[in-house]
Amino acid sequence: MLKTENPCQKTKKHVLKKPEASVIILSTLIFFMEATVETDVLIIGGGATGTGIARDLALRGITSLLVEKGDINAGASGGNHGLLHSGARYVANDGESARECMEEGKILRQTAPHCIDDCGGMFAAVQGDDENYVGEFQGFCARSGISATPISIETAMEAEPLLSKKLIAAFGVRDGAIDPFMLSLENIAHAKALGSKLLCHTEVVAFEKDNHCITRVWLENIHTHQRFSVDPRQVINAAGAWSGKVDALAGAATEIIYSMGTLLVTQSRMTEGVINRLRPPSNADILVPGGTVSILGTTSIRVNDPDRIRPTVAETDLIVSQGAQMIPTLETTRYIRAYSGVRPLVSQGKGDDRSVSRSFVLLDHQETGLDNFATITGGKLTTFRLMAEKTADLVAARLGNTTPCKTRTEPLPSTQEGKWTEPGIAPRVWMQKPAGKKDRILCECEMIAESTVDALADALEKNGQAPDLLNIGKRSRLGKGPCQGAFCSTRVLAHMYNNGRLSGPDGANELKAFLSERWKGQKPIFWGDQLVQAELTEAMHCGLFDLELTTPDPDKPEPKKVSDSLAKTTRQSERRN
Amino acid sequence: MNSQAPDTIHTELTIIGSGMTGMAAALFAVNRGISTTLIGQHSAMNFASGVMDLMGVHPAGQEWDDPWKALDRVRKDLPNHPLVKVDNLDIENAMEELLGFLKDQALPYHRAARKNINVITSVGTIKKTYAVPETMWNGVVALEKKSPTLIVDLDGMKLFSARQIASSLADRWPDLGHETIVFPGSEALEELHPEHVARALDLSANRVKLANRIKPFVKDAAYVGFPALLGMYSSREAVTELEQLLERPIFEIPTPPVSVPGIRLQETFISGLGKNKLFRTLSTMVTHVKTDSGFTITTGGNTPETIRSKAVLLATGRFLGKGLTASRQGIQETLMDLPVEQPETREEWHRNDLFSPQGHPVNRAGIKTDDHFTPLVPAPEKPVKNLHVAGAILAGSDWMRMKCGSGVAIATAFAAIKAIEKANK
């Protein structure tokens, strides 16, 4: 409730403390002094929800500062299927989620078509699956207003020839595939265009409170450990799996269940549309096309710490064997990597993690006695916009802003920011280059040319982030093909040295950081051809380059990673010398 | 039976695998009067950088200047390491015999007396190794003395940046310059492939044109370093002529695959061994090995061949060489289904950190043998007579971390051939 004398209503600006001047502090200072925009809202968490909130607020005329301790979509927003749910998966026991999914799917198809592959989907049951569930499925769907059309076995097999010969029932649904990276990058790009700000690699470390209000939020750059503070009028916790930790810092107890899910990426696209196993939600029962690949998952394993998750061999084996019941080729196909995400589920005390509602929770913290704090958590990628809308409604009302939400109808502009995450875009752009123009392909698996790498590096520098291999990899398909990054990493590095973006002895460490990151997702799928490739990668980078014997200088504070915010000026001169 | 067909090849020894192990074994065999058939396709030597490691690192992360001292330590700590089964004299003799052959075939190698040497790599790291092609030797000397040196790369080579090398090594080697040269005739090309440049530099005219483009940048550099592509079949002549034209010593820097020095090794072995009447090679894959009194070996391809052989040496390599294959359930030997020593579960194959100095347990998986490199089989199976296994497929050595790849290949090939020679007598 709004109180007229609310101390949270005083006008705020960023305040910088501790002026023991280092270059980083100075450049941060330059940034904040340059920031003429008044930041009313601090958003914590740069996933689909946080970036969605930033855009929603900006469209209402409210600018915000979004801080993210990792990179955009570093959590569950980047570690999921990329599935635009029809809602049919939730019809049996979570009708509300089902309906939300259906409605949001319609809106996103209208407003963000460039992020969506409207490939359609199917629910398929095979011999041995619960026939009662199969029988009740259509009724469940009807109850939530979701269309599910029975398909004959012959028609289903014709549409998706890799389906098991043991298919006993199939229904067509309105599923789609959505590129979560493009979505979040476009959302934040639009918010920024409207005056909001983004700081990645920036973690919330403390809240100062006064009289029912958060008055000051202390932030820390995770690489430089420099601290600075912001005095916001409103604070939104959209930290996903980390929202419980953020709430605890603010003195509010929200119990979050961490449910880890693992997914596998196949080397090629296996199906035209999304294939769901027609059974009560279980392991490895969804296969979603992602451009030129398919994504199979997932699992649901309770973990204690969202910061320490890794896909395991056991999960991989489970996913492959379960998935193969639906699509037998999944047993023999080549996988190129595995990854995990943590679903933030709000504890309601009983039942297993899959039965916890996948609907979202918006906490206004009035009970805890915090008038300018809100936490949005739970939910799923498909409903991110609705989550953002509800949160923005609350915060806008608190700020006295009565402009209605515009994201239901306002198209999401297509910028360059998210463009390169789309499979197949890099080769298309490369093919269009003028005849005679030299533009060498650096990643031969995903056809990424020099010009694409340069564009990505420029964009990173513009955002004040290091144009290093790791960051370029996160914003493109670099290293995501069958070579596992062994060759493209080395070529991109040579290119970065050649054009002067990189100098000094850090190249070896960039290689190690990039390949280590890729390795994390590959270790569980090392059999068959992928193990052969792993051996070649290791032969080259350890056998020949001896990279395992190079150690980063411990006294050096990771100079390239100073990156953030506006240390840009320093880093450019550092890199271009 | 096929074995009775008139076109059956009869041979004393069949070597399966055409990597460093197979080639070295063929050399040692024909030198000992054993008629030898080498079968293999897509030699892994195409992936080799051309430098030869003997023993460089043990235990995890500890580098040794003296490979023999490193070996002493390995003998103490790792009784199952394949090199431990070969005594130092045999290892030295094996190296001597192989490097002597390469010298005779105009591909000389250089090494330091009882000492590992340092070479720079194409990413600007410094690597310890045992022997390098003569064309790389000046780089070892220049690095040692930190002499003023110009590193040259060629426009369009995507895996080699002279600037990267110079910049990465600037702290340790300040007098390192760099320059990118457009290779004569490649102006219109988007990309340049090392094999093509190497073949072009087999011709003197191209060396002259290249030298003319480099000359303005040489200035006071005492050495000039190049990516390893100075000639394919005439690398010695190419280097000598470029040294005359540039009026100073030059050297090659090892590159990642596909690597010209690896192809040179492969081609040199095949042509050198081809001069010996006891040697025959089939560029194909073996599909089947049958053991009876001796071996019947069948090859694949459009015209399958049958070979009758008294002895077989398996030198099929690891996963890349197709000697081993891995499924979700475990690791198998591909040709004869020999027992493979391996970690209990797939979870243990690799460590979480790619660059862990301890290395990945999967790289120590392989075939376990006795001291004569005869594979050990669990009772009650009887060991196959006259079957030997050598090289990277052997259990107990992580060549990538220990820097012992060529050492294991050459020394175990030598020991296995000695055992075969003894059995023949």
pLDDT, one tens digit per residue, over A454-500 is: 999 998 888 778 899 988 988 888 888 778 899 999 999 999 999 99
Cβ–Cβ gap A526/B57 under 8 Å: no
| One domain for residues B297 and B411 | yes
A173 pairs with which residues across the strands? A121
In a domain, B97, yes or no: no
Of residues A569 and A174, the one with the higher pLDDT is: A174
B254 → chain A, closest CA residue: A544
Q: What is the 3-state secondary structure (H, E, C) of A26-83?
A: HHHHHHHHHCCCCCCEEEECCCHHHHHHHHHHHHCCCCEEEECCCCCCCCCCCCCCCE
Q: Which of B127, B161, B327 sits opposite A498 (nearest CB)?
A: B161
In a domain, B108, yes or no: no
Confidence of residue A128 (pLDDT cuts 50, 70, 90): very high
DSSP code for A174: -
| One domain for residues A102 and A243 | no
Query: In Å, what is the CA distance from A59 to each residue of A53, A237, B146, B158?
Result: 10, 19, 61, 45
| One domain for residues A274 and A387 | no
In a domain, A157, yes or no: yes
| One domain for residues A247 and A116 | no
As for how many domains chain B has, the answer is 2
Q: Which of A493, A523, A532 sits opposite B164 (nearest CB)?
A: A493
Cβ–Cβ gap A527/B346 under 8 Å: yes
Range of the domain at B284: 11-50+263-424
Q: What does the block give as tokens for A21?
A: 């001047």
Q: What is the pLDDT of residue A417?
A: 61
| One domain for residues B227 and B280 | no
| One domain for residues A432 and A444 | yes
Mean pLDDT of B247-257: 96
In a domain, A405, yes or no: no
Closest CA relative to residue B282, chosen from B23, B45, B41: B41
| A526 and chain B in contact, CB less than 8 A | yes
- Chain centre distance of CA A202: 16
Mean pLDDT of A42-65: 97
Domain end: B208, B223, B253, which one? Answer: B253
Q: Is B270 a residue whose pLDDT tops 80? A: yes
Range of the domain at A461: 424-575
Rounded distance, CA B144 to CA B172, Å? 11
Q: What does the block give as tokens for A65?
A: 């500062």
Rounded distance, CA B199 to CA B234, Å? 9
| One domain for residues B237 and B284 | no
| One domain for residues A223 and A293 | no
| One domain for residues B201 and B240 | yes
| One domain for residues B349 and B400 | yes
Question: A182 CA to chain B: closest CA distance, Å?
Answer: 29
Is residue A466 a contact partner of residue A575, using CB atoms and an 8 Å limit? no
Is residue A48 a contact partner of residue A83, using CB atoms and an 8 Å limit? no
| One domain for residues B380 and B268 | yes
Q: Which long-range contacts (CB under 8 A, 24 or more apart) does B4-10 make?
A: B5/B306, B7/B305, B7/B306, B8/B306, B8/B307, B8/B308, B9/B37, B9/B280, B9/B305, B9/B306, B9/B307, B9/B308, B10/B307, B10/B308, B10/B309
Q: Is A30 a residue whose pLDDT tops 80? A: no
| One domain for residues B416 and B284 | yes
In a domain, B66, yes or no: no
| A536 and chain B in contact, CB less than 8 A | yes
Query: In Å, what is the CA distance from B277 to each residue of A105, A149, A538, B34, B35?
Result: 75, 74, 39, 10, 8
The answer to which of A285-299, A355-369, B123-137, B177-191 has the lowest mean pLDDT is A355-369
| One domain for residues B405 and B384 | yes
At B243, give phi and psi (nearest 5°): -65, -40
A431 Cβ partners below 8 Å, 6+ apart? none
Is residue B364 a contact partner of residue B396, using CB atoms and an 8 Å limit? yes
Rounded distance, CA A160 to CA A172, Å? 12
Confidence of residue B396 (pLDDT cuts 50, 70, 90): very high
In a domain, A196, yes or no: yes
Q: Which of B123, B257, B363 sits opposite A545 (nearest CB)?
A: B123
Q: Is A516 a residue whose pLDDT tops 90? A: yes
Q: Is A15 a residue whose pLDDT tops 60? A: no
Closest CA relative to residue B305, chosen from B334, B283, B277, B333: B283
Q: Which of residues 154-193 of B touch A (CB under 8 A)?
A: 156, 158-161, 163-164, 167-171, 180, 190-191
Domain end: B208, B230, B253, which one? Answer: B253
Query: In Å, what is the CA distance from A437 to each residue of A440, A445, A450, A452, B36?
Result: 10, 21, 12, 14, 53
Q: Which of residues 106-125 of A touch B (CB under 8 A)?
A: none
Helix (H) or strand (E) holding A379: none
In a domain, A65, yes or no: yes
One-letter amino acid for residue B361 of the chain: P
Dihedral sign computed on CA atoms, order A419, A463, A52, A80: positive
In a domain, B113, yes or no: no
B325 → chain A, closest CA residue: A528
Average pLDDT over chain B reads 95
| One domain for residues A168 and A195 | no
Q: What does the block give as tokens for A91?
A: 């019809």
In a domain, B194, yes or no: yes
Cβ–Cβ gap A536/B353 under 8 Å: no
Q: Which of A505, A507, A528 sits opposite B327 (nearest CB)?
A: A528
Rounded distance, CA B43 to CA B321, Å? 8
Q: Is A574 a residue whose pLDDT tops 50? A: no
**CATH code for position B308:** 3.50.50.60
| B80 and chain A in contact, CB less than 8 A | no
Closest CA relative to residue A477, chosen from A465, A462, A492: A492
Closest CA relative to residue A491, chosen from B257, B260, B9, B416: B257
| A505 and chain B in contact, CB less than 8 A | yes
| One domain for residues A430 and A531 | yes
Q: Is the peptide bond between B312 and the residue preceding it cis, with omega within 30 degrees of 0?
A: no
| One domain for residues A571 and A500 | yes
| One domain for residues A249 and A262 | no
Question: B358 CA to chain A: closest CA distance, Å?
Answer: 9
Q: What is the pLDDT of residue B214?
A: 98
User: Which chain A residues touch B128 with a CB distance below 8 Å?
Assistant: 546
Rounded distance, CA A289 to CA A424, Å? 13
- Token pair 């940034």 is found at A31
Rounded distance, CA B61 to CA A359, Å? 50
Provide, rounded to the nearest whole percent, the portion of chain A with pLDDT above 90.
62
Cβ–Cβ gap B347/A312 under 8 Å: yes
Is residue A541 a contact partner of residue A515, using CB atoms and an 8 Å limit? yes
Q: Which of A442, A511, A531 sits opposite B326 (nearest CB)?
A: A531
| B347 and chain A in contact, CB less than 8 A | yes
**CATH code for position A168:** 3.30.9.10
As for how many domains chain A has, the answer is 3
User: Which chain A residues touch B400 with a CB distance below 8 Å?
Assistant: 538-539, 542-543
Q: Report pLDDT digits (tens) over B85-131.
A: 999 999 999 999 999 999 999 999 999 988 999 999 999 999 999 99
Is residue B225 a contact partner of residue B250, using CB atoms and an 8 Å limit? yes
Q: What does the block give as tokens for A161?
A: 């020839």
| One domain for residues A394 and A521 | no
Q: What does the block give as tokens for A324?
A: 């193969």
Burial A365-389 (b: 16+ CB within 10 A, else e): beebebbbbbbbbbbbbbbbbbbbb
| B344 and chain A in contact, CB less than 8 A | no
Q: Is the peptide bond between B375 and the residue preceding it cis, with omega within 30 degrees of 0?
A: no
CA dihedral A323, A324, A328, A331 (to 10 degrees): 110
In a domain, B193, yes or no: yes
Q: Is A1 a residue whose pLDDT tops 80? A: no
Is residue A57 a contact partner of residue A63, using CB atoms and an 8 Å limit? yes
| A335 and chain B in contact, CB less than 8 A | no
Q: Where are the beta strands (DSSP E) in B8-147?
A: 9-16, 36-39, 109-111, 117-120, 126-129, 131-133
In 10 A of CB B167, how many CB atoms? 22
Mean pLDDT of B410-415: 98
In a domain, A411, yes or no: no
The answer to which of A137-141, A257-261, A354-358, A521-525 has the lowest mean pLDDT is A354-358
| A546 and chain B in contact, CB less than 8 A | yes
A150 pairs with which residues across the strands? A171
Closest CA relative to residue A157, chosen from A272, A267, A293, A266: A272
Query: In Å, what is the CA distance from B8 to each residue of A171, A391, B3, B11?
Result: 60, 81, 6, 10
In a domain, B232, yes or no: yes
Average pLDDT over chain A reads 85
| A444 and chain B in contact, CB less than 8 A | no
**CATH code for position A31:** 3.50.50.60
Burial B138-165 (b: 16+ CB within 10 A, else e): bbbebbeeebbbbbbbbbbbbbbbbbbb
Domain end: A312, A346, A380, which one? Answer: A346
Cβ–Cβ gap B158/A494 under 8 Å: yes
Q: Which of A440, A531, A548 sits opposite B158 (nearest CB)?
A: A440
Q: What is the pLDDT of residue B124?
A: 96
Confidence of residue A20 (pLDDT cuts 50, 70, 90): very low
Cβ–Cβ gap B354/A538 under 8 Å: yes
| One domain for residues B314 and B415 | yes
In a domain, B71, yes or no: no
Is residue A383 a contact partner of residue A44, using CB atoms and an 8 Å limit? no
Is residue B414 a contact partner of residue B93, using CB atoms and an 8 Å limit? yes
Rounded distance, CA A236 to CA A347, Å? 20
Is residue A99 a contact partner of residue A90, using CB atoms and an 8 Å limit? no
| One domain for residues B338 and B275 | yes
Q: What is the pLDDT of residue B216?
A: 97
Rounded distance, CA B23 to CA B36, Å? 11
For an interface test with B, the pick among A497, A533, A555 (most B C-beta atoms closer than 10 Å) comes out as A497
User: Which chain A residues touch B359 with a CB distance below 8 Å?
Assistant: 548
Give the three-state DSSP class for B60.
Answer: coil
| B62 and chain A in contact, CB less than 8 A | no
Q: Which of residues 108-137 of B touch A (CB under 8 A)?
A: 121-128
Burial A150-178 (b: 16+ CB within 10 A, else e): ebeeeebbebbebbbeebebbbbbbbbbb
Cβ–Cβ gap A543/B320 under 8 Å: no
| One domain for residues A315 and A452 | no
| One domain for residues A570 and A528 | yes
In a domain, A477, yes or no: yes
Is residue B56 a contact partner of residue B63, using CB atoms and an 8 Å limit? yes
Q: Is B379 a residue whose pLDDT tops 90? A: no
At B164, give phi and psi (nearest 5°): -60, -45
| One domain for residues B210 and B293 | no
| B361 and chain A in contact, CB less than 8 A | no
| B17 and chain A in contact, CB less than 8 A | no
A91 pairs with which residues across the strands? none
Q: Report pLDDT digits (tens) over A346-392.
A: 765 444 565 556 688 999 998 878 999 999 998 899 999 999 999 99
Q: Is B213 a residue whose pLDDT tops 90? A: yes
Give the three-state DSSP class for A236.
Answer: strand
| One domain for residues B297 and B412 | yes
Domain end: B222, B253, B284, which one? Answer: B253
Q: What is the pLDDT of residue B177?
A: 97
Rounded distance, CA A473 to CA A78, Å? 13
The listed range with the strongest mean pLDDT (A3-12, B98-107, B180-189) is B98-107
Q: Which of residues 168-197 of A touch B (CB under 8 A)?
A: none
Q: What does the block give as tokens for A140?
A: 């469940």
| A440 and chain B in contact, CB less than 8 A | yes
**CATH code for position B231:** 3.40.50
Size of interface A-B (CB pairs under 8 A): 150
Cβ–Cβ gap B355/A512 under 8 Å: yes
H-assigned helices in A404-506? 425-431, 450-462, 469-474, 486-498
Cβ–Cβ gap A505/B160 under 8 Å: no
Cβ–Cβ gap B125/A539 under 8 Å: no
